[in-house]
């Protein structure tokens, strides 16, 4: 059982909240590894590990530009999963907004 299936990798990739947040950012465009490191306030090796998992899962691509490595998502691979996992996230975001409105109104 040394090799993992790509499908297994996809699920491992999106099971982690940090990696989902990285995917969210990459959905806006290409990001340099160093900028991601700054944004998430984690070490470069930790971020590289997350990116490696995402790449192995086929969810992101990378390219070299000079000394930098740039990452971007592969939307074709990602969309169905993102929609699927995001359902509850969207549900609760809506409800938390509703809570804010309720508190405001109750004042």
Residues that bind other proteins (CB under 8 A): 5-8, 10-12, 14-15, 17, 80, 83-85, 87-93, 95-96, 98-103, 106
Quick one: 36 or 78, whose CB is closer to other proteins?
A: 78
- Smallest separation (angstroms) from other proteins to the CB of 15: 6
Tell the smallest beta-carbon distance from residue 83 to other proteins (Å).
6
Q: How many CB atoms lie within 10 A of CB 31?
A: 20
CA 93/CA 96 separation, integer angstroms: 5
Nearest alpha-carbon partner for 38 in 53, 22, 49? 22
Q: Which is nearer to other proteins, 28 or 106 (CB)?
A: 106
Looking at the Cβ atoms of 65 and 103, the one nearer to other proteins is: 103
Q: How far is the CB of 16 from other proteins (least distance, A)?
A: 9
Q: In Å, what is the CA distance from 54 to each residue of 15, 17, 42, 103, 106?
A: 11, 12, 17, 40, 45
Token match 């590289």: residue?
Answer: 48
């Amino acid at each position: 059982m040394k090799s993992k299936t790509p499908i297994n990798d996809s699920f491992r990739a999106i099971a982690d909240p940090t990696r989902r947040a990285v995917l969210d950012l990459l959905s806006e465009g290409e990001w340099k590894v160093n900028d991601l490191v700054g944004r998430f306030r984690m070490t470069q090796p930790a971020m590289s590990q997350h990116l490696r998992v995402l790449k192995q899962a086929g969810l992101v691509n990378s390219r070299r530009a000079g000394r930098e490595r740039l990452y971007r998502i592969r939307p074709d691979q990602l969309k169905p999963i993102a929609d699927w996992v995001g359902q509850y996230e969207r549900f609760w975001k809506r409800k938390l907004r509703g809570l804010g409105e309720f508190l405001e109104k109750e004042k």
